[in-house]
Amino acid sequence: MDSNNAPEARLRAADERDYALFARLFLELNTGDETPSEATFRATFLHRMRVFERDGATIGMTIFDKLPEAAYVRIIVIAPEHRARGEGRALMNAIATVLRAEGCKTWRLNVKRDNSAALALYKRMGMRVAYESTAFNLFWSQLDALQTSASAERAVVLAEREDEHVERAWSLPTGQLAQWRARPGNFLLRVERTSDPSDLGAGFVRFEPAFPGAFPLRVREIGSARTLLEACLAQRDLSKDYVRLVVEDNEPFARAMYAAGATTHMELFHMTGSLVSL
């Protein structure tokens, strides 16, 4: 079937009855992460999820986060029985239409480096690899093996008034930090150096104890990752003895993670593209 001649597709907001669909399609992402429980689905994913339908049939689902000028596509899945017929492209085009109508100019996403189908799709949509990143699995017991900071510093809660500066320092889209802060169970911390407390670019982390994940975790000096992770440790979910953390575009930091005994969970590309010239 050529989707160009197919019955019209639409994106609809998900509702509570879509948990079974979410759980089935989440597995298709093959992330190795636990399928979120129904309670987590309701709290974290439901209001962001959209179901892709054609002629009343469910074709796939997506979750994307819209910021004032940029958007992050978090999940896109076409159900296995509908693949390789142009539905992935149709879904991406439907997302782009929504985003453009809301004023977004760029979009971005993370994709596993070995996911050739998704890579082909995103390149077809004009997206390009901006950088490589690695998602690590670190047991909290391995944290002691990570080098400490040479500077006197501590982790402090990132204040709202600091968002703009930190977003600029780490090339995050405007509004990203406020969006994370608003999510239940998210902690935003930054590094404060004794020598220069006004320096807002030494490092920051978003920590989600329930996942448990540290993403993003950006640091100017590797030792600051230990400072931030120790603060995360204090907030951890005691039933989880590990944390998933993502090292983005920072090879020395990735090497330090391996040296500490962390293992690779996923190797990713970060891709970005224009919605204007699409």
Ligand X SMILES: CC(C)(COP(=O)(O)OP(=O)(O)OC[C@H]1O[C@@H](n2cnc3c(N)ncnc32)[C@H](O)[C@@H]1OP(=O)(O)O)[C@@H](O)C(=O)NCCC(=O)NCCS
Q: Which residues sit at the interface with ligand X, rule CB under 6 A?
A: 28-29, 76-78, 83-89, 111, 115-118, 120-121, 124
Minimal distance, residue 91 CB to ligand X, in Å: 7
Q: Distance (Å, rounded) from C-alpha 253 to C-alpha 247?
A: 7
* Closer by beta carbon to ligand X, 118 or else 243: 118
* Closer by beta carbon to ligand X, 108 or else 220: 108
* Closer by beta carbon to ligand X, 59 or else 177: 59
**Measured at CB, which residue is nearest to ligand X?**
88
Q: Please, which residues bridge with residue 9 across strands? A: 54
With contact defined as beta carbons under 8 Å apart, do 245 and 136 qualify? yes
Beta strand pairing call for 128-139 and 106-112: unpaired
Q: Distance (Å, rounded) from C-alpha 33 to C-alpha 204?
A: 24
∠ CA 130-133-139, rounded to 5°: 165
Minimal distance, residue 102 CB to ligand X, in Å: 22
Minimal distance, residue 77 CB to ligand X, in Å: 4
Minimal distance, residue 89 CB to ligand X, in Å: 4
* Closer by beta carbon to ligand X, 63 or else 262: 63
Q: Could you tell me the two tokens for 142?
A: 């391995």
Minimal distance, residue 28 CB to ligand X, in Å: 4
Alpha helices (runs of H) in 136-175, residue ranges in sequence order: 163-169
* Closer by beta carbon to ligand X, 28 or else 164: 28
Q: Please, which residues bridge with residue 60 across strands? A: 52, 78
